[in-house]
Structure 1
């Protein structure tokens, strides 16, 4: 097989994660993100669930379409995480989901901004809104690396 000597083209997921990682290098910021990003996803799903559970399922399905376009393994991981979050929402007392989700959402975003203050860099989504969807993959990437799962 003949090689051209040209570098292999990077996958879009690799480019996005690399760009996202540029503003997430400080270990404290990484820990904060590993806590706050899942909390934000769960609380956002909770607020949407409070409006109507089918809307939460629709949001998950829409995000999964995007995730599958980037990486099948990441999409499968997000499918498992989303399914677990939706199952938890189904088990919680329905009357308090909106208020609890809103409080967690606000507190988790405060945590994120504290992390970026420590980092000394603005959040990635200020430059590109896609990074709101890449954050969960960035966190999932930590788990995948620990488990030796490629994406």
Structure 2
């Protein structure tokens, strides 16, 4: 299994233009929320109906385990993001079917529009997941690392990611 720095460096190689990264800071969270919403139906009751399990809950739990295996503090941060996203998805899934679908699909399309603008207009390079599907999981983590670095946290990781990317140019 690749290390955290290897995953993020490979992803960074597809995201060198700061304008592309900026479109991803908007687009990726929208896509994550869309997935949380659209996969929050159906809900299967467990523990005599005290809780319910959804495809979104399963997906976000598995993704969080992946993130925790890569890095405990970042995995914990992604767990918070996952829980908040799953809560939003659950809330939206409890609304009317029309609102649930319109919002979920709208978020998904808008998020991907931001992604495509970033790659086609600014980066002029295909998205990372085209070459490695794990890029779909690394994208949200990359955004978290970018935001943490902008706030003065995990700068060592940010430097290592971009140093490794520069070495591959």
User: Contact (CA 8 Å) 2:41, 2:54: kept in 1 or not?
Assistant: no
Give 1:144 shift. 1.7
Q: Secondary structure at the match of 2:126?
A: coil
1:121 to 116, 119, 125: 125
Q: Which moved more, 1:117-126 or 1:138-147?
A: 138-147
Indicate the residue corresponding to 1:94 in structure 2: 95
CA distance in 2, matches of 1:38, 1:125: 16
Indicate the residue corresponding to 1:62 in structure 2: 62
Give 1:133 shift. 0.2
CA distance in 1, matches of 2:86, 2:7: 27
Give 1:90 shift. 3.4
The answer for unaligned runs of 5 or more in structure 1 is 1-10
Give 1:113 shift. 1.1
2:26 to 26, 31, 35: 35
- TM-score by length of structure 1 reads 0.85
User: Contact (CA 8 Å) 1:50, 1:97: kept in 2 or not?
Assistant: no
Indicate the residue corresponding to 2:113 in structure 1: 110
CA distance in 1, matches of 2:65, 2:101: 26
Indicate the residue corresponding to 1:3 in structure 2: none
CA distance in 1, matches of 2:112, 2:54: 25
User: Contact (CA 8 Å) 2:33, 2:88: kept in 1 or not?
Assistant: no
Give 1:55 shift. 1.8
CA distance in 2, matches of 1:21, 1:36: 16
Q: Secondary structure at the match of 2:41?
A: helix
The answer for unaligned runs of 5 or more in structure 2 is 44-52, 158-169
User: Contact (CA 8 Å) 1:33, 1:112: kept in 2 or not?
Assistant: yes
Q: Deviation per CA, 1:56-85: give whole Å up to 9, x if none.
A: 111111111111111111111111111112
Indicate the residue corresponding to 1:134 in structure 2: 138
Q: Deviation per CA, 1:12-56: give whole Å up to 9, x if none.
A: 110111111111111111110000001101101110013335221
CA distance in 2, matches of 1:71, 1:24: 21
CA distance in 2, matches of 1:58, 1:127: 25
Indicate the residue corresponding to 2:35 in structure 1: 44
